[in-house]
Structure 1
Amino acid sequence: MGARQPDVLIIDKSFLDEYHGQFEQTVKLHPGLKFVPVIYLGTRDDKGIRSLVQFNSCEIVKDEDTLLDAVSELLMPSVRIRFWGVRGSTPCANFENIEYGGNTSCLEIATPGMDELLIFDSGTGIRNLGNHLERLDEISCKGHIFITHPHWDHIQGFPFFKPFYSSKNKFTIHLPEQYRGGAQEILSGHLTKTFFPVTLDMLDATIEYVTQKEERVDYGHYSIEYFVANHSTKTAIYKIRIGGRVIVYASDNELPLETTPIRFVEKFQEFVKDADVLIHDAQYTLQQYKEREGWGHSAWERVIEVVKPTGVKNLYLTHHDPDTNDAELGRRDRRLQQYVGAPFDNISLTREGAEIRIPVKKPESVIKKNKAKVS
């Protein structure tokens, strides 16, 4: 791999016929490659195509015109959302969980022109992200990590993030205030010699700790605000405005079956209204939820019911239960397709290694200015 990850991989039949074994091994050794969309010049019957199943986006084309159209669409300036971990509660490195992924919550968002990392949660998925950054051989990196809450499955990967161990790097860690303190106090409490051999003062990177407030804060390329989730500790539902788009990340949030005196569901609906993307906790089925009410997680059927009238365009369901295997998640994913176009543009379960690309939306002022030039 070079020093920069490709935006698109174009692979033809003759290459895979000869090198599909070596290519498959390369992808296994570089998990970041799974995010790269593949355009394959060939047919579904080619013997080497099996090595492409590791990629979450693969388009098969047969001629140059189709190829050019596909490349143009993929290279459009976009907000990119990458799922490094989508499992809830505890990581599960089991054969039956490989397809959707066994690492716990970690999300990365980027847009053209950004020179820093934007990461949400530091579950075990952040370890692969750190390894990926190291393989890119960047001289240094900087960024912000917004942690929704300090439950184990959202911070398990924190001390395994390799960029923390280089003095060239700089990060700001954000966390809502908790009962026993702010961001630094909470993380230092988890990382003590009693529980883990690495403590915060052993990290070499320059790290600032911010106890995040609920009001909207501008960070240059994006802004962040949050709404307090219905969960067992103070948990952020982050709203990110970036590239002219609105993304809401609600990894752990319980949507009760009935309205409550504090009208939580109604306030949640107002917060997510008209979002371009909503990534929401859907750990349970409705049947499971009735046995686990009050545990702080939602049933996927209830999420759809609540979100339907809000104008959310794309809905992605996450925080999969560790005891729900790929076969069951696949059946659930297929059931979700009935809601495509009515009312969602896209709806699916999240998969570790998947990337969502949403074209950057130009500000209204820029559009009007361009129209004036044409006229």
Structure 2
Amino acid sequence: MSIKVKFYGTRGSIPVCNPEFQTYGGNTTCILLSSPDSDAIGIFDAGTGIRDLGKDLVNAPGALPKDIFLTFSHFHWDHIQGFPFFAPAYIPQQSITLLAMGEKRATTNLKEIFENQMQEAFFPVKLNEMGANFHFTFFQSGSAILGKAHLKAIPHQHPGGAYSYRVDQGNKSVVICTDIEHGPSIDQNIVEFARNADLLIHDAQFTQEELRTKSGWGHSSYEQAIEVARQAGVKQLVMTHHDPDHDDQFLKKIEVQCQKLFPNCLLAKEKMEIEI
């Protein structure tokens, strides 16, 4: 049993579209998880990258996935701003479950979040006019079985709060840990959460030098992401949530430096696919 991961949004904070940002991508966070033996898909976060994801789903041969599970690390603007442009949300009877997990979440009314985002003052189509069958689900326990996948979540440090997710399916595992600030030392709860994962997707918005002046911003350095991967014994590391000021030339240099420290690592690129 395999899990396919595809990156549709790799940028943090705000989308960028200049020519020098095309290799690694300019859309904000959105990650697709799918499996060839499942008629459901999982989407993590709905940044601007979800627009292209939706187009790919609608234009693909065959029927749309029976169930679409859209899961959120948190609800800052760059992680929800693409949702009104997600094409399957306008298809009558398409089942879409918007979900979040975690007992310490400040906000549990998911429907209200998206209703507010789509008020007339902000967007011409209201949530209840989109067409799909929406299900708003909150798992306070931080653990749930969705089809053949076991989904778990734990909180980590970020302004307003955010959550890391782990997907275990068969003998494969993926951990998504974005918008995390470790602080002076690596969060050992995250290390244990990612223990022996096949793939760790980890926030790496800043260099170590940049991080010194951005305490409280809620993000990690490349070195911290690598240290989590090392301590947790993960097989592969992908770093994402690229800073909007880091262009392709900068990120290419960083990627080479990171691979010297942890050979099986990459910086996320839009439309990059990994199968585990």
Class of the TM-score when normalised by the shorter of the 2 chains: over 0.9
SS at match of 2:227: helix
What's the CA shift for 1:191?
Answer: 1.8
- In the alignment, which residue of structure 2 is the partner of 1:149? 74
4+ runs deviating over 6 angstroms: none
Q: Deviations over 1:287-317 (max 9, x none)?
A: 1111111110011112223432221111111
- In the alignment, which residue of structure 2 is the partner of 1:280? 202
Cα distance change of structure 1 residues 168 and 140 upon mapping to structure 2, 3 Å threshold? farther
1:337 to 216, 241, 259: 259
State the distance in 1 between where 2:86 and 2:59 align. 13
State the distance in 1 between where 2:35 and 2:133 align. 24
What's the CA shift for 1:78?
Answer: 3.0
* Superposed counterparts of 1:63-212, under 5 Å: 78-141=2-65, 142-176=67-101, 178-212=105-139
- In the alignment, which residue of structure 2 is the partner of 1:305? 227
State the distance in 1 between where 2:139 and 2:114 align. 14
Equivalent residues of 2:174, 2:198 under 8 A apart: yes
SS at match of 1:296: coil
SS at match of 2:112: helix
State the distance in 2 between where 1:245 and 1:301 align. 25
What's the CA shift for 1:173?
Answer: 0.4
How many residue pairs are counted as aligned between the two chains?
Answer: 273
State the distance in 2 between where 1:147 and 1:180 align. 12
2:240 to 318, 325, 328: 318
SS at match of 1:328: helix
Counterpart residue identity of residue 146, structure 1: T
1:228 aligns with 2:155: yes
State the distance in 1 between where 2:142 and 2:247 align. 38
SS at match of 2:42: strand
Equivalent residues of 1:140, 1:168 under 8 A apart: no
1:290 aligns with 2:212: yes
- In the alignment, which residue of structure 2 is the partner of 1:49? none
State the distance in 2 between where 1:130 and 1:219 align. 21
State the distance in 1 between where 2:150 and 2:271 align. 25
Equivalent residues of 2:204, 2:225 under 8 A apart: yes
Cα distance change of structure 1 residues 80 and 306 upon mapping to structure 2, 3 Å threshold? closer
State the distance in 1 between where 2:8 and 2:193 align. 25
State the distance in 2 between where 1:227 and 1:99 align. 32
State the distance in 1 between where 2:19 and 2:235 align. 33
What's the CA shift for 1:129?
Answer: 0.7
Counterpart residue identity of residue 131, structure 2: D
Bigger relative contact order, structure 1 or 2, given CA contacts below 8 A and separation 6+? 2
Counterpart residue identity of residue 52, structure 2: N
122-131 or 298-307, which deviates more: 298-307
- In the alignment, which residue of structure 1 is the partner of 2:172? 245
Equivalent residues of 2:35, 2:41 under 8 A apart: no
- Tell which structure's C-alpha radius of gyration is larger: 1
Q: Which has the higher helix share?
A: 1
- In the alignment, which residue of structure 2 is the partner of 1:22? none
* TM-score, normalization by structure 1: 0.70
Identity across matched positions, percent: 36
What's the CA shift for 1:137?
Answer: 4.7
SS at match of 2:3: strand
Equivalent residues of 2:180, 2:219 under 8 A apart: yes
SS at match of 1:132: helix
State the distance in 1 between where 2:159 and 2:71 align. 18
Equivalent residues of 1:88, 1:321 under 8 A apart: yes
Counterpart residue identity of residue 266, structure 2: S
Could you say what the CA RMSD is over the residues aligned between the two structures, in angstroms? 1.6
Equivalent residues of 1:184, 1:210 under 8 A apart: no
State the distance in 1 between where 2:118 and 2:62 align. 27
State the distance in 1 between where 2:260 and 2:81 align. 36
